[in-house]
A and B are shown apart, each in its own frame.
Chain A
Amino acid sequence: MTEMTAEKTRNSEWKKLLLLAFVGLPIAMFGAIATYGLIVRLLQIFLIGLPGA
């Protein structure tokens, strides 16, 4: 491996790390919680009954 490609790899790895940590992770978290909420809501609507119904 030459110096050049090693430098390139390091750069691209940092970029990926930051992308995952500050873009991917929040999206995944939000998505997971939203899905969880949606599933509970759908369960409430179709199976366990609305809070109040």
Chain B
Amino acid sequence: MKKIWIWLRNLFCKPAAKIGLGVLVTVGFIAGILAWQGFNAGMAATNTEEFCVSCHTMHQNQEELKETVHWSNRSGVRAQCSDCHVPHDFTDKMARKIQASVEVWSHLTGKIDTPEKFEANRARLAQNEWDRFKANGSKECRTCHDYNSMDFEKMRETSREAMRGAAERNQSCVDCHQGIAHKKPEKTDARNPAFDGLIQAAGNESVKVGGTYFNVYPRELYLDEAMSKVAGKLEVGAPVKVLQEKGDAQQVEVSAWRKSKGFGRVWYGHFAKNITVATLEKAVAQDKQLVKIAESKEDPNTGLIWQKSSATFWIKKGEVVASTDPIWSVAKDSYKNSCSVCHKQPDEAHFDANTWPGLFGGMVGFTSMDKDTQGLVLKYLQNNSSDFKKPSH
């Protein structure tokens, strides 16, 4: 140990006796150039597509990229993985390389080494990338695309308005353009965390027998107290009258409208308005013992007969609240966040309850809302539509 130390000290501190200073500096200079070259070559090599996809975990992403305009287009410009994913300035790039070492580590140690595991982690990884693009305003995209150089007139008609607005706000591209290079990960099983707050509020609700309450989360209706026989599905925001509580279960009465035509499986909250509150199993909907019909009325617009019906079911206790306000406030936030990205979100009361589902269905694909949130926001829009409120302008 001591020997090495002395050797090192001599190496650095003892002046050279036989080699001229000029030779030393020259050799050092050349070595420096070569080393920097070598380093950059190494950096470039680890930026190539071959390197990225050398891990089979990354291979899937390349296959998907091949389907897109960034792989092959009429201009012959090809975006490499690193064009979009590796920062271009030195400090960020070095930090990203260290992060990449972590990726290599997790590949080698088998944390994510198979396509299956990759798929399972995909939503998380994509979210990381979305966050990164959001924070840097999609800087990497803009090395190739620049708002200032865009000719909006030459864009497709559907692109113009959205892209003009985006340029005005200097908005980050990936806010709107997700899944442009790879398949966008499915978000269906990730529950919107806002529901957790609602379920918690419902847990604290002291329910009085005979009162009317509102369901906070889409879930099962049961025929029996043991909650073993499924009768159908109760939608979020659906009103129920609590009849009694037993153990973990609650007996509730659901009263709503249904069309006399067909099996009457779908129940609606209001006469002649397509706002679903529950969907029953076929046999259950046909059960004359269970379903009581109070009145029948014809909808003059469609000529269909609507029946006011009611039935009692069992549901799991602790998932209803006394007012729709907390439910709609969650929905309103989601609506504002997701639907104001490309245009100002339309006034809820600008359309009526039967028009919203079509409009909403056409737009929701642009957003990253999960299934439950979609259902919630649509219910919110319908229940606050022009059928119930005057437009605010």
Chain A: residues with CB nearer than 8 A to chain B? 6, 9-10, 13-14, 16-18, 20-22, 25-26, 29-30, 33-34, 36-38, 40-41, 44, 50-53
Chain A proximity mask over B123-135: 1 for CB below 8 Å, otherwise 0: 0000010111111
A21 touches B31 (CB 8 A): yes
Question: What residues of A have a CB within 8 angstroms of the CB of B144 in the complex?
Answer: none
A-B contact pairs, 28 of them (CB 8 A): A6-B18, A9-B18, A10-B19, A13-B17, A13-B19, A17-B27, A21-B27, A21-B31, A25-B28, A26-B31, A26-B38, A29-B35, A29-B39, A34-B98, A37-B94, A37-B97, A37-B98, A40-B91, A40-B94, A40-B95, A41-B98, A41-B99, A44-B95, A51-B136, A52-B128, A52-B130, A52-B131, A53-B135
The minimal Cβ–Cβ distance linking B92 to chain A, given in whole angstroms, is: 7
The minimal Cβ–Cβ distance linking B126 to chain A, given in whole angstroms, is: 12
List which B90-136 residues lie within 8 A (CB) of chain A.
91-92, 94-95, 97-99, 128, 130-136
B27 touches A33 (CB 8 A): no
Give the residue among A33, A44, A52 with the most B Cβ atoms within 10 A.
Answer: A52
Given contacts A25-B32, A51-B132, A51-B136, contact A36 B94 (CB under 8 A): yes
A52 touches B32 (CB 8 A): no
Q: Given contacts A41-B99, A51-B135, list 18 more A-B pairs with CB under 8 A.
A: A13-B18, A14-B19, A16-B11, A20-B28, A22-B31, A26-B38, A29-B35, A29-B39, A30-B39, A33-B39, A36-B91, A37-B97, A37-B98, A40-B98, A51-B132, A52-B133, A52-B135, A52-B136
Tell yes or no: B294 within 8 A of A by CB. Answer: no
Chain A proximity mask over B4-35: 1 for CB below 8 Å, otherwise 0: 00000001000011110000100110111011
A6 to B99, CA, bound (A): 50
Minimum CB distance partner of A23 in chain B = B31
Question: What residues of B have a CB within 8 angstroms of the CB of A21 in the complex?
Answer: 27-28, 30-31
A34 to B100, CA, bound (A): 12
A41 to B16, CA, bound (A): 40
Question: What residues of A have a CB within 8 angstroms of the CB of B39 in the complex?
Answer: 26, 29-30, 33
Minimum CB distance partner of B102 in chain A = A41
A33 touches B94 (CB 8 A): yes
A33 to B98, CA, bound (A): 10
The minimal Cβ–Cβ distance linking A8 to chain B, given in whole angstroms, is: 10
A4 to B92, CA, bound (A): 54
A17 touches B98 (CB 8 A): no
Minimum CB distance partner of B36 in chain A = A29
A13 touches B95 (CB 8 A): no
Question: What residues of A have a CB within 8 angstroms of the CB of B36 in the complex?
Answer: 29
Question: What residues of B have a CB within 8 angstroms of the CB of A52 in the complex?
Answer: 128, 130-136
Minimum CB distance partner of B31 in chain A = A21
A34 to B186, CA, bound (A): 36
Minimum CB distance partner of A16 in chain B = B11
A21 to B31, CA, bound (A): 5
Question: What residues of A have a CB within 8 angstroms of the CB of B98 in the complex?
Answer: 34, 37-38, 40-41
The minimal Cβ–Cβ distance linking A43 to chain B, given in whole angstroms, is: 8
A6 to B16, CA, bound (A): 12
A44 to B91, CA, bound (A): 12
A14 to B23, CA, bound (A): 10
Minimum CB distance partner of A36 in chain B = B94
B92 touches A51 (CB 8 A): yes
B11 touches A20 (CB 8 A): yes
Question: What residues of B have a CB within 8 angstroms of the CB of A50 in the complex?
Answer: 131-132
Question: What residues of A have a CB within 8 angstroms of the CB of B94 in the complex?
Answer: 33-34, 36-37, 40
Question: What residues of A have a CB within 8 angstroms of the CB of B133 in the complex?
Answer: 52
Those 7 A-B pairs whose CB atoms lie nearest each other, nearest first: A52-B131, A37-B94, A21-B31, A52-B132, A10-B18, A40-B95, A41-B98
